[in-house]
Structure 1
Amino acid sequence: MPYEWVKELPDTPTESEGPLAELHLWPYRSLPRKGFVTFFAITSAFIALPLIAMIGSPVMWGLLPFIVIAMGLMWYLLQRSYRDGDVIETMTLWPERVDLLHRDKTGKTSQWTCNIYWAKVSLHPRGGPVPNYVTLKGNSREVEIGAFLSEDERKELYSELLLALPRAARKQ
């Protein structure tokens, strides 16, 4: 699941100074970094296989530039995909407020803070940029959360937030 509760809400009230709960969200990665290295090595080996038969022939020098361009382009596009998906959202539930911090792929951050008692989570099945769009509303502002998650993951996130926000507000 491309989100996790780093710190979950305690069942009993605590007198700690820190946040009650913390949620981290990130885009799904079908090819992790370790898998990228393996994929690139295997692909390089398979592409180089025909070149072994051509060693010493002028045909090898005709094929080599195209193979180098293909491998370089694959490297660049996969690295660009990793940079474009370098988005993270952090929602922190404090006894008196809820904070949402969004860092986009360029490193620009935006923050939203609201009194936890007034924070409201909403699910928009239609009308948003994606199906089952999840938003947090409070402080006369509505912000998205987890827009990069899949449709089913947004539904699950909505149900978890629907339970977590009132529980955190009661601990106030």
Structure 2
Amino acid sequence: MIDELPPSVPGSEAQLLLRPRRILTSRQFFVLFGLISVPVAAVSGYGFALGNAYAPWFALLDLVIVAVALRGVWQSGDRYERIVVGEQRLEVRRSPDDAAVFQAHPYWVRLRTEGVRDAPDHLRLGSQGREVEIGSFLPPGERSELAERLRWMLAAASGRAPANEH
């Protein structure tokens, strides 16, 4: 998901916030876990009734593993990348600590795409021998949209006309 954050002061730096799409809400994750738990508990109870004393313990272990996996999937949706583009700097920041992983003057930054133009596999920003991949968690269509937005933002920040690619 690509959100354009409004500048705090008119004419200041533009910001793009990139986040992975979440398919389910937190409530839906709990419902999903409940839907998984019911059949696991039923099969475990049936196995216990037939004489398998370890079935409830295995079911409990199974549900703990599923809960940890679902929590990990949910927390992976909290990551983000923030791209700040101004007249004097381009900066890429990443979660969890919002640390800057790339900084350069926008005039010298080049956007490189790999793969099909309408659905690139990789987007990279580079300057002076340094390069950083951006938007790796976005689907190909959104990476294409991101590439187009960044071309215009870089052109506007550096005073260049965006290159038309055919």
Q: TM-score range by the shorter chain?
A: 0.7 to 0.9
- Among 130, 139, 150, the residue aligned to 1:150: 139
Is contact 2:106-2:157 (8 Å) kept? yes
Please give the per-residue CA displacement for 1:122-170, whole angstroms capped at 9, x wherever unaligned: 21228xxxx5311112244222111222222212211121122212334
Please give the per-residue CA displacement for 1:1-52, whole angstroms capped at 9, x wherever unaligned: x2211227xxxxxx93784311111233334433211111222233334567
What is the aligned partner in structure 1 of residue 107 from structure 2?
117
Matches within 5 A, 1:59-138: 59=51, 61-84=53-76, 86-103=78-95, 109-125=99-115, 132-138=121-127
The question of 1:46 aligning with 2:39 is answered yes
SS at match of 2:32: helix
SS at match of 1:37: helix
Cα distance in structure 2, aligned partners of 1:148 and 1:99: 19
What is the aligned partner in structure 2 of residue 163 from structure 1?
152
Quote how far apart the aligned CAs of 1:101 are.
0.9
Identity score, percent = 23
What is the aligned partner in structure 2 of residue 12 from structure 1?
none
SS at match of 1:125: strand
Give TM-score, length-normalised by structure 1: 0.71
Q: Kindly provide the amino acid, as one letter, of the partner of residue 15 in structure 2.
A: E
Q: Which moved more, 1:32-41 or 1:15-24?
A: 15-24
Structure 1's consecutive aligned runs of 4 or more residues displaced over 4 angstroms after TM superposition are 50-55, 83-86
Gaps of 5+ in 1: 9-14
> Could you say what the CA RMSD is over the residues aligned between the two structures, in angstroms?
3.2
Quote how far apart the aligned CAs of 1:58 are.
6.8
Gaps of 5+ in 2: 160-166
The number of aligned residues is 156
Is contact 2:41-2:56 (8 Å) kept? no
